[in-house]
Amino acid sequence: MRPAPLPVRDGLGPARVRLHGGPVLAELTTRFGAPARAKVLAGEVVDAGGGVIDAGTVLASGSYVYLYRDLPDEVPVPFDIPVLHQDDDIVVVDKPHFLATMPRGRHVAQTALVRLRRELGLPELSPAHRLDRLTAGVLLFTTRREVRGRYQTLFARGAVAKTYLARAAVDPALVLPRLVIGRIVKRRGNLQAVCEPGVPNAETLVELMSPDGLYRLTPRTGRTHQLRVHMASLGVPIIGDPLYPNIFEVPADDFSAPLQLLAQRIEFDDPLTGLRREFVSRRALTDVVAS
């Protein structure tokens, strides 16, 4: 994808809108209301080449325009993002619970990406992979567009070894270690991912590490909510999970009971140097609640 014609501003890149075609002012006003109309009339909307959209601009179906979004009101996430490693190519952090990896929905400024761009002064910072908002632990970003694809490809093709820790109840009848294999599907508009019959697409090795309910989870695939779904399917859902097995509402300002899931370690062969890389979280699930 070609670079956006507007720069990152205060840690946030412009929104990209795909048009149905026709007069741009009318379409943006119909779809997004008076604020979008005001942005066009103020000369704050541009096309893919950086040309300013005005009241008379007409663009074909499938064209894109770019504009800075108005930020929603967000509850600040009151946790720091410790940096585990930083060099010219990557930044590795110890993401806290409750902080989304990147902007989506009602979480925009209160995301790891936007906060780190602001704190580190790195406008091209981009995640090489994602962690759920409720999951803490090791998260890798690239610092420059030129190297982004190399690291993202590592994660996309499963060339990164990942280890997670989780806390859950202990079922004496559950035989562990166990390789959980199944098919997980996450449909747009549904909060929960579900297990369905069909060709397996998700594998997790589940091991009980201590009798008080500390588990090591080693995913061999990377489906949405995979670890949470697999633990719930075994009858031992992860402590603090508001989705599996049952959905319950958590107030936006309640940080008292984090999901007891930690991305503890990642290992891979660096695509630029060929050297073996290993990054380990400094967090422990026993002290997550107090962090």
Within the chain, where are the H helices? 24-32, 34-41, 112-120, 145-156, 226-233
Beta-carbon contacts of residue 41 (< 8 Å; ≥ 6 apart): 25, 55
For the segment 46-85, what is each residue's pLDDT rounded down to a tens digit? Answer: 999 999 999 999 999 999 999 998 888 899 999 999 999 9
Distance CA 236, CA 173 (A): 11
- Report how far apart, in Å, the C-alpha atoms of 34 and of each of 24, 27, 265 are: 13, 11, 47
Tokens of 177: 């270690």
CATH number of 83-280: 3.30.2350.10
Question: Which residues on adjacent β-strands are paired with residue 9?
Answer: 12
Would you call 115 helix, strand, or coil by DSSP? helix
Q: In the predicted model, is pLDDT for residue 288 greater than 50?
A: no
Quick check: pTM over 0.85?
yes
* pLDDT range class, residue 1, cuts 50, 70, 90: low
Share of the chain above pLDDT 90, in %: 90
Beta strands per DSSP E along 57-113: 58-59, 64-67, 83-86, 90-95
For the segment 151-199, what is each residue's pLDDT rounded down to a tens digit? Answer: 999 999 999 999 999 999 999 999 999 999 999 999 988 999 999 999 9
Under a CB-based contact definition with an 8 Å cutoff, are residues 208 and 176 in contact?
Answer: yes
How many CA atoms does the CB half-sphere of 17 hold within 13 Å?
Answer: 21
* Orientation angle between helical segments 24-32 and 34-41, nearest 10 degrees: 150
Mean pLDDT (the chain) is 94
Segment 223-229 mean pLDDT: 96
Domain ranges of the chain: 15-67, 83-280
In this prediction, residue 223 carries a pLDDT of: 93
